[in-house]
C-alpha cells in the first residue's frame, strides 16, 4: 500500500480528503504544518512516503534527496516557490499545483484589504480599543485607479469587483483581457492609487517592488500584497512609508512567516500585516483539499493534469 504524507494544516484524519485517499487504496499520514518545521523533521516524515500533499513549507533539494520513495508532490495552492522543482525533476518526482483553485477567495480578500486601507478600518478599530475615538477621513474607491501586477486567475477575478466599485484598472502582464488597460510597470506604479500584487515569485519578480519602485508611486498610494512576501523589499517599503513616499501597505504575505518579533514591519504606522489568509475560506479549503487529493491520485497513476516540472 502506497503511503501519502499530508502536511496542509486544515486537512485532518477522517475528513473527506482522507476518506477519498483511503478509498483510492492509499495509507495516509497526517503531520500538519502550523509554523516553521525543521528540515530534518520534514525529511524524517518523508521517509517511506510515496506521495505528499503539502502546505507552503520548504521542500529543498536536500530534503528531497532524503526521500527515496517519493514520486509525487501536490501543493494545496497555487504558488510552488517553496518546492525545488528542478531538484524534484532530477529525482523523477512529479510536482503539481492547483491553478485558480482559490481565485475567488483571493479576489474577495483583496477587496477587503482595499476597503480596509482606504477607509482606515484597522486604525479606527485599534484606536477605539485603546479608548480613543478616531475620526480621520478615508477615501472612496470610486474614480480611483487600481494597478494589478500580474494577471493570473486571482487578478482576473479582481477586475469585475473593481469595475463594480467604479475603479479604472490597469495591469502589467503579457496576457490581455477585457475591462483592463495594459501598460508597463513604471506607468502602472506612477498612475495607480492602489497597487495589488498577484504575480508569481520568480527570480525576475523577487524584490520587484524596491526603493526605485516606491519612488515612482503616488504619495497617497496603498500597496496590497496577497501573492508572495519576497516580491516586496520590506526594508525599502518601511522607508517609503515612513518618509511619505507612499501612504501605506496591507500585506497578507511577508518574507518570513510567521512574522518575526523583530521584523521592521512591526509598529510602522500605515503598514498592516495579516496572517496569510487570502485563500483561506471554508469553500476554498474544501475545493483545494479535494482537488489536491484528486491530482495526487491521478499523478500516482501517471495522469497528472497540473504538473509544473514536466511529465515524468
Grid coordinates in use for 63?
530534503
Neighbours of 86 (CB within 10 A): 12
pLDDT attached to residue 310 = 78
pLDDT attached to residue 173 = 80
Neighbours of 47 (CB within 10 A): 13
Q: What's the pLDDT band for 311 if we cut at 50, 70, 90?
A: low
Instruction: Round the average pLDDT of the chain to a whole number and report it.
Output: 96
For the chain, give the DSSP string: --EEEE--TT--TTSHHHHHHHHTT-EEEE----S---HHHHHHHHTT-SEEEE-S--B-HHHHHT-TT--EEEESSS--TTB-HHHHHHTT-EEE--TTTTHHHHHHHHHHHHHHHHTTHHHHHHHHHTT---------STT-EEEEE--SHHHHHHHHHHHHTT-EEEEESS---TT-EE--HHHHHHH-SEEEE-----TTTTT-B-HHHHHHS-TT-EEEE-S-GGGB-HHHHHHHHHHTSS-EEEES--SSSSPPTT-TTTT-TTEEE--S-TT--HHHHHHHHHHHHHHHHHHHTT--SSBSS---
| pLDDT tens digits along 47-70 | 999 999 999 889 999 999 999 999
| pLDDT tens digits along 152-179 | 999 999 999 999 999 999 999 877 788 8
| pLDDT tens digits along 199-227 | 999 999 999 999 999 999 999 999 999 99
Dihedral (CA of 154, 160, 165, 171) sign: positive
Neighbours of 211 (CB within 10 A): 14
C-alpha 110/C-alpha 2 separation (Å) is 39
Q: Say which residues have a Cβ less than 8 Å from residue 6's Cβ, sequence separation at least 6.
A: 17, 18, 21, 28, 29, 30, 31, 32, 52, 53, 54
C-alpha 142/C-alpha 52 separation (Å) is 45
Q: What is the mean pLDDT of residues 133-151?
A: 97
Q: 103-118 and 282-300 helices cross at what angle (nearest 10)? A: 150
- Region for residue 26 given its phi and psi (left: phi exceeds 0; alpha: psi -120 to 50; beta: otherwise): beta
C-alpha 251/C-alpha 88 separation (Å) is 30
Q: What is the mean pLDDT of residues 228-244?
A: 98
Q: What is the mean pLDDT of residues 109-133?
A: 97
Neighbours of 147 (CB within 10 A): 27
22 burial via Cβ count (<10 Å: 0-12, 13-18, 19+): middle
Query: Does the structure show a pLDDT above 90 at 74?
Result: yes
Q: What's the pLDDT band for 193 if we cut at 50, 70, 90?
A: very high
Dihedral (CA of 60, 66, 67, 71) sign: positive
Residues that are catalytic: 228, 257, 276
| pLDDT tens digits along 286-306 | 999 999 999 999 999 999 999
pLDDT attached to residue 312 = 42
Residue among 95, 110, 98, 94 nearest 150 (CA): 110
Q: What is the mean pLDDT of residues 226-251?
A: 98
pTM of the model: 0.92
Amino acid at each position: 500500500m502506497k503511503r501519502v504524507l499530508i502536511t496542509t494544516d486544515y486537512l485532518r484524519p477522517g475528513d473527506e480528503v482522507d476518506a477519498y485517499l483511503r478509498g483510492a487504496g492509499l495509507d495516509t499520514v497526517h503531520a500538519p504544518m502550523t509554523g516553521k518545521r525543521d528540515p530534518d523533521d520534514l525529511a524524517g516524515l518523508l521517509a517511506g512516503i510515496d506521495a505528499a500533499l503539502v502546505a507552503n513549507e520548504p521542500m529543498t533539494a536536500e530534503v528531497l534527496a532524503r526521500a527515496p520513495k517519493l514520486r509525487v508532490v501536490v501543493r494545496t495552492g497555487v504558488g510552488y516557490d517553496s518546492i525545488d522543482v528542478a531538484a524534484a525533476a532530477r529525482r523523477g518526482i512529479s510536482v503539481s499545483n492547483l491553478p485558480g483553485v482559490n481565485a475567488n477567495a483571493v479576489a474577495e480578500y483583496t477587496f477587503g484589504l482595499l476597503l480596509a486601507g482606504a477607509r482606515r478600518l484597522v486604525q479606527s478599530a485599534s484606536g477605539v480599543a485603546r479608548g480613543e475615538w478616531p475620526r480621520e477621513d478615508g477615501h472612496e474607491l470610486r474614480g480611483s485607479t487600481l494597478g494589478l501586477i500580474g494577471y493570473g486567475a486571482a487578478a482576473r477575478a479582481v477586475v469585475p469587483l473593481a469595475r463594480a466599485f467604479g475603479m479604472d484598472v490597469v495591469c502589467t502582464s503579457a496576457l490581455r483581457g477585457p475591462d483592463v488597460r495594459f501598460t508597463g510597470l513604471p506607468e502602472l506604479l506612477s498612475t495607480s492609487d492602489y497597487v495589488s500584487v498577484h504575480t508569481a515569485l520568480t527570480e525576475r519578480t523577487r524584490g520587484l517592488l524596491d526603493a526605485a519602485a516606491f519612488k515612482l508611486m503616488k504619495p497617497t498610494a496603498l500597496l496590497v500584497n496577497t501573492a508572495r512576501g519576497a516580491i516586496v523589499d520590506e526594508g525599502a517599503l518601511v522607508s517609503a512609508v515612513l518618509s511619505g513616499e507612499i501612504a501605506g501597505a496591507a500585506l497578507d504575505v511577508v518574507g518570513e512567516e510567521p512574522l518575526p518579533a523583530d521584523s521592521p514591519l512591526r509598529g510602522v504606522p500605515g503598514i498592516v500585516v495579516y496572517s496569510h489568509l487570502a485563500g483561506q475560506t471554508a469553500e476554498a479549503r474544501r475545493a483545494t483539499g479535494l482537488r489536491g487529493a484528486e491530482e495526487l491520485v491521478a499523478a500516482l497513476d501517471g495522469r497528472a493534469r497540473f504538473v509544473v516540472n514536466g511529465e515524468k
